[in-house]
C-alpha cells in the first residue's frame, strides 16, 4: 500500500497557480512562430569532413561534441531551468546527418517546408543552403538509404510498395533506432553524475588495455562515450557562463538572483550528482537536450517514473525550506518545454502523428518491486502542474493498480477535467507486469516498467526497439483488403499472396484462412526485413550518447545500442485495425454465408464502387453486429481475430533475440492506416480513418452506452495477449462538474481495470463544442483532444481526424 500522504501538503499543492514566469513562458510560447533552425547541420558537416577515415563510433561522438560546443544557446527572461535544442521558445533542429535527404522541400526554390499536413514553415535562403549542403554530404550513405538498398536485394520493391499501401509502418525516414524513443537512465545519472560515467569508461579502457581482448570496437565505444559525455558537461558550463554574464549586466534583482541560481546549477550538473530538486531538473534537461541534438527527429523527452527517482530530493528541498512555489514553478518550466518541443517529421510521420510535437511521457504511481504502491505527494504535484498548464503534451500516464489510492485517482480525474483531452491516461500496472512475467522477464525487473510515447511499455534495463528497423505496426484492415482482392493492395500492386478470388469461396472458413495466410506472409516478411535492417544500420550510424545514457548495459558491454545485444534488447509490434477487420469479417459471415442476404459478388461490387449507388448494401453492412455493444457474436469474432493474430506474431523466430511482444496503441495511426484500405464490409467508406484505438469501437458503432463498450473490451481478451490496448471514450464536459460525477468516473475506471482492462482514456468534451471549434478555430486554439494514443490541439488536426473525434459516440455517466 502507498504511504499516507501529507494532507496539508496536498492542500497546499491544490492552492498553487502558475507562477508569473510560467505565465510569461506560456504567452511567449503561444505567440511564437513554429521554426526550423538549420545551424546544427553546419557543425555536423564540418565535423564529418574533419574526421573522415576514423572509426564510425568516434566520428559520431566528435560530431555530437562539435554541435554541443558551438550551437547557439539562449536564456529567456522567464526561464527557471535552461536548455533547449534551439534558441527558439518553440523550434527544432534537423536530422540530415542521421536521416539523409529526408526533407525534399529544401530543393524547392520557395524555401517552404510542410511542418504538418496543414502547416508550412518558410526558410530563409541561408538556412536552405546549409540544409542543402548537409544533404549533399550525407545523402547516399545514410543508414536508412543503405537498408532500403539491402531490402531491395532481398524482396525487390516489395517493402516500398507495402509502405506506400500503408500495410506496414514506420518508413525508415522516421529515424527510429533502438532505444531512441526511450527513457534515459535517470536514477543512475542523477546519483553519480556524468563524471561517474566518465570515470567508469576510463576504468574500462584501462582494463581493456591490460587484458588480452582483441575487440577494439569496445575500446572505441568507451573512448567515444567519454568524448560525448565531456561535451555535455561543457555544454552545461556554456549555460553557466552565459547566466553569469547576463547576471552581471542586469539591474533586475529577481532576474539576477535567478540567473545566479541557474549558473550554480549548470556548474554542478549534470557533471556531478544532483543534490537538490532544482539541480535534478536541470540535469535532466541538459542531458535530454544533448540526446535530442544527437538525433533531433527523435526529440522524445520521456521522464519515466519521475515521481520515484525525484521524490527524495523533493522531500529534502521542502524540509530545507525551499518554497513549494519555487519547486512548482521549476517543475512547470520543465514540463512545459518538454510538451512543446517540435521536430521535422518525415512524410509518413505527418500522416501517422498529425502533429509535430514530440510525444513525451511522464508516469505517476504504480507498484515497486516489493509490490507496494508508490504514489506520493510528487505524483500529486505533477498531476496538478499538468492541469495548470493545459497543454496537449506531454502524455501523462497513471500506472493504475488495485492499491492505487483514492486521493491520487481523484486528482487524476480532476486533472482530466482540466485538460479535457485524455490527460492523464490510465494504464493497468497489473496487466503490464504480468505480461512481462508471462514472457519470461523477472517480476522485480518488470515492476519498473514505464511508458513511451502514447502507451507503449518499456523496461529501463533493456533497449526498446519498438518502431526501430521499420517495425512498429501492420494493418489488419489492409490485410483484409488484400484478401478481398486476391493479394492486391489499395494501389493495385500485388503486395500480398494470391489466395484466390473470394467470389469463388464456398465457405466463410476459406475466406478466414485466406485472411490469416495474408497476415502470416506480411507480418513475417516485415519481421525478416527488420532483422536485415538490424544488421545494416550499425555499419552506417552509431549513437554513442544515447547508448551510454540510455542503457546501462551499453557501458558495461562497450557496445552501441545500434549493435543490438540479445540479452538487452526487446522487440515489439502493434497488430492494428483488429476491430475494423473483425467487424468486417462478422458482416461477411452473417450477410453472405449465414443469412445469405448478399452474395459475395454483390458485396465486392459495392465495396469496389465505395458503396456509390449501393446504399442498400451499405445499410446492411452498417446494421450487422458490431463490437462495442456487448454483442457476443461480434465480440467473439474480435477475440478470435485477436488470438489468432497474436499467435502468428509469436510464431516468428526472432532468434537470437526475444520473440516480438504485442502492444496495441494509438497515435493517429487510424488516419494513416485508413489511407491504405478501400471500403470495408463493416460499412466504412474507402480511405476514411479506421477505428481510433486498438480496443475502441468504430466511431458511432457503439450504440448501447459506455458500459457495453467495457463489456465488449473485456470479452475481446486483448489483455491476454497484448501489454496495452488503447481504449478511447468521450464524455460531455457538462456532466463532470461535481464530486458525484467524479466519483462515478473513478468507479467506472476502477471497474474496468479490475476486470482486466489494460488501458482507458477520456475525452471530456462534447460533440457540439467540437463542431464549433471546427467552424471557428480562432476561438478554440487551446482545446485539447485525445486522438488515438496521444493528445493534440483540435484546431491543428486534419479535417478527417477532426470529424473522427466529433463523430465518436458521446456518453453520459
Beta strands in 495-630 (DSSP E): 569-570, 572-576
Of 65-79, 311-325, 789-803, the poorest mean pLDDT is in: 789-803
- At 354 the pLDDT is 63
* Mean pLDDT computed over 165-185: 91
810-811/728-731 β-pairing: parallel
| Rounded Cα distance, 392 and 396, in Å | 10
Kindly state the greatest CA–CA separation across the chain.
86
pLDDT of 115 above 80: no
3-state SS assignment for residue 368: coil
Q: Tell me how far apart the terminal alpha carbons of the chain are, to the nearest angstrom.
A: 29
- At 614 the pLDDT is 98
What grid cell was written down for 19? 507562477
Indicate the pLDDT class of residue 779, thresholds 50, 70 and 90: confident
- Helix (H), strand (E), coil (C) string for 767-782: HHHHHHHHHCHHHCCC
C-alpha distances (whole Å) from 678 to each of 301, 451, 488, 580 are 37, 33, 11, 12
What grid cell was written down for 160? 516500398
pLDDT in tens, 288-306: 999 999 999 876 778 899 9
Would you say 498 and 466 are in contact if contact means Cβ atoms under 8 Å apart?
no
* Mean pLDDT computed over 673-692: 95
The whole-chain average pLDDT of the chain stands at: 93
- At 32 the pLDDT is 86
Please name the residue that has the C-alpha cell 495511426.
669
What grid cell was written down for 345? 517529421
Beta bridge mates, 427: 399, 759
C-alpha distances (whole Å) from 116 to each of 92, 105, 349 are 13, 13, 9
User: Omega into 535 within 30° of 0, i.e. cis?
Assistant: no
- At 480 the pLDDT is 98
* Mean pLDDT computed over 29-41: 90
pLDDT in tens, 433-479: 999 999 999 999 999 999 887 789 999 999 999 999 999 999 999 99
Quickly list H helices, 215-276: 216-249, 253-268
pLDDT of 751 above 90: yes
- At 741 the pLDDT is 86
Indicate the pLDDT class of residue 339, thresholds 50, 70 and 90: confident
pLDDT of 591 above 90: yes
Beta bridge mates, 730: 763, 810
Q: Of 552, 309, 570, which is closest to residue 456 (Cα–Cα)?
A: 570
Helix axes 706-715, 632-651, angle to 10 degrees: 40
What grid cell was written down for 185? 537512465
| Rounded Cα distance, 726 and 575, in Å | 12
- At 302 the pLDDT is 80
Q: Sign of torsion, CA 554 555 557 562?
A: positive
| Rounded Cα distance, 709 and 701, in Å | 10
Percent of the chain with pLDDT over 70: 97
- At 262 the pLDDT is 98
Of 80-84, 169-173, 198-202, the poorest mean pLDDT is in: 169-173
Indicate the pLDDT class of residue 346, thresholds 50, 70 and 90: confident
Indicate the pLDDT class of residue 697, thresholds 50, 70 and 90: very high
pLDDT of 736 above 70: no
Q: Of 393, 521, 250, which is closest to residue 784 (Cα–Cα)?
A: 393
Please name the residue that has the C-alpha cell 461477411.
588
Amino acid at each position: 500500500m502507498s504511504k499516507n500522504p501529507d494532507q496539508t501538503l496536498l492542500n497546499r499543492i491544490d492552492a498553487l497557480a502558475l507562477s508569473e514566469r510560467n505565465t510569461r513562458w506560456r504567452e511567449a510560447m503561444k505567440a511564437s512562430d513554429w521554426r526550423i533552425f538549420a545551424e546544427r547541420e553546419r557543425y555536423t558537416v564540418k565535423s564529418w569532413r574533419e574526421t573522415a577515415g576514423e572509426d564510425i563510433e568516434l566520428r559520431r561522438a566528435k560530431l555530437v561534441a562539435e554541435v554541443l560546443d558551438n550551437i547557439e544557446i539562449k536564456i529567456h527572461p522567464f526561464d527557471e531551468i535552461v536548455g533547449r535544442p534551439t534558441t527558439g521558445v518553440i523550434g527544432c533542429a534537423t536530422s540530415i546527418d542521421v536521416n539523409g535527404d529526408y526533407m525534399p522541400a529544401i530543393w524547392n526554390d520557395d524555401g517552404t517546408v510542410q511542418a504538418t499536413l496543414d502547416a508550412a514553415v518558410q526558410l530563409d535562403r541561408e538556412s536552405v543552403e546549409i540544409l542543402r549542403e548537409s544533404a549533399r554530404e550525407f545523402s547516399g550513405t545514410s543508414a536508412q538509404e543503405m537498408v532500403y538498398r539491402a531490402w531491395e536485394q532481398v524482396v525487390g520493391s516489395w517493402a516500398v510498395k507495402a509502405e506506400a499501401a500503408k500495410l506496414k509502418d514506420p518508413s525508415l525516414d522516421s529515424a527510429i533506432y533502438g532505444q531512441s524513443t526511450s527513457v534515459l537512465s535517470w536514477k543512475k545519472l542523477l546519483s553519480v553524475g556524468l563524471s561517474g560515467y566518465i570515470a567508469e569508461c576510463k576504468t574500462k579502457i584501462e582494463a581493456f588495455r591490460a587484458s588480452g581482448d582483441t575487440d577494439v570496437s569496445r575500446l572505441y565505444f568507451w573512448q567515444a562515450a567519454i568524448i560525448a559525455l565531456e561535451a555535455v558537461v561543457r555544454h552545461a558550463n556554456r549555460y553557466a557562463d552565459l547566466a553569469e554574464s547576463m547576471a552581471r549586466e542586469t539591474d533586475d534583482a529577481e532576474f539576477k538572483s535567478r540567473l545566479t541560481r541557474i549558473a550554480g546549477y549548470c556548474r554542478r550538473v549534470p557533471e556531478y550528482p544532483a543534490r537538490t530538486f532544482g539541480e535534478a531538473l536541470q540535469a535532466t534537461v541538459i542531458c535530454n537536450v544533448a540526446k535530442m541534438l544527437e538525433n533531433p527527429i527523435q526529440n522524445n523527452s520521456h521522464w519515466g517514473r519521475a515521481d520515484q527517482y525525484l521524490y527524495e530530493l523533493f522531500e529534502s528541498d521542502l524540509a530545507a525550506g525551499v518554497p513549494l512555489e519555487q519547486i512548482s514553478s521549476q517543475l512547470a518550466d520543465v514540463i512545459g518545454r518538454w510538451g512543446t518541443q517540435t521536430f521535422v517529421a518525415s512524410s509518413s510521420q505527418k500522416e501517422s502523428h498529425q502533429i509535430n510535437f514530440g510525444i513525451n511521457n511522464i508516469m505517476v504511481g504504480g507498484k515497486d518491486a516489493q509490490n507496494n504502491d508508490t504514489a506520493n505527494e510528487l505524483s500529486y504535484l505533477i498531476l496538478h502542474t499538468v492541469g495548470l498548464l493545459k497543454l496537449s503534451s506531454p502524455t501523462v500516464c497513471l500506472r493504475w493498480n488495485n492499491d492505487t489510492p483514492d486521493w491520487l485517482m481523484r486528482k487524476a480525474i480532476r486533472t482530466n477535467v482540466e485538460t479535457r483531452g485524455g490527460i492523464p491516461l490510465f494504464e493497468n500496472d497489473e496487466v503490464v507486469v504480468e505480461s512481462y512475467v508471462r514472457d519470461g522477464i523477472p517480476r522485480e525487473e518488470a515492476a519498473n516498467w514505464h511508458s513511451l510515447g502514447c502507451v507503449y511499455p518499456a523496461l529501463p534495463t533493456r533497449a526498446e526497439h519498438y518502431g526501430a528497423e521499420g517495425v512498429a505496426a501492420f494493418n489488419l484492415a489492409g490485410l483484409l483488403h488484400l484478401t478481398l482482392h486476391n493479394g492486391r493492395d489499395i494501389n493495385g500492386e500485388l503486395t500480398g499472396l494470391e489466395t484466390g478470388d473470394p467470389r469463388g469461396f464456398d465457405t466463410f472458413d476459406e475466406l478466414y484462412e485466406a485472411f490469416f495466410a495474408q497476415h502470416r506472409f506480411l507480418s513475417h516478411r516485415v519481421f525478416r526485413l527488420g532483422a536485415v535492417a538490424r544488421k545494416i544500420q550499425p555499419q552506417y550510424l552509431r549513437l554513442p550518447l544515447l547508448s551510454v545514457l540510455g542503457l546501462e548495459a551499453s557501458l558495461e558491454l562497450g557496445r552501441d545500442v545500434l549493435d543490438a545485444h540479445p540479452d538487452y534488447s526487446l522487440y515489439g509490434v502493434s497488430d492494428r485495425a483488429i476491430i475494423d477487420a473483425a467487424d468486417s469479417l462478422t458482416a461477411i459471415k452473417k450477410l453472405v454465408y449465414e443469412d445469405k442476404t448478399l452474395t459475395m459478388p454483390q458485396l465486392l461490387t459495392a465495396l469496389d464502387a465505395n458503396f456509390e449507388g449501393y446504399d442498400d448494401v451499405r445499410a446492411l453492412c452498417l446494421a450487422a453486429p458490431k463490437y462495442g455493444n456487448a454483442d457476443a457474436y461480434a465480440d467473439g469474432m474480435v477475440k478470435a481475430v485477436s488470438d489468432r493474430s497474436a499467435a502468428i506474431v509469436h510464431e516468428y523466430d526472432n532468434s537470437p533475440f526475444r520473440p516480438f511482444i504485442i502492444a496495441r496503441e494509438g497515435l493517429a495511426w487510424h488516419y494513416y492506416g485508413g489511407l491504405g484500405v478501400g471500403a470495408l464490409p463493416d460499412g466504412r467508406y474507402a480511405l476514411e480513418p479506421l477505428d481510433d484505438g486498438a480496443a475502441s469501437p468504430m466511431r458511432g458503432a457503439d450504440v448501447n452506452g459506455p458500459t457495453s463498450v467495457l463489456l465488449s473490451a473485456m470479452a475481446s481478451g486483448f489483455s491476454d495477449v497484448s501489454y496495452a490496448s488503447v481504449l478511447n471514450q468521450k464524455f460531455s464536459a457538462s456532466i463532470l462538474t461535481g464530486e458525484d460525477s467524479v466519483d462515478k468516473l473513478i468507479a467506472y475506471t476502477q471497474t474496468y481495470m479490475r476486470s482486466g482492462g489494460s488501458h482507458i482514456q477520456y475525452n471530456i468534451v462534447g460533440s457540439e463544442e467540437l463542431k464549433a471549434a471546427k467552424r471557428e478555430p480562432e476561438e478554440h486554439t487551446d482545446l485539447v483532444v485525445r486522438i488515438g494514443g496521444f493528445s493534440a490541439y483540435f484546431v491543428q488536426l486534419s479535417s478527417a481526424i477532426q470529424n473522427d473525434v466529433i463523430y465518436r459516440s458521446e456518453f453520459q455517466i
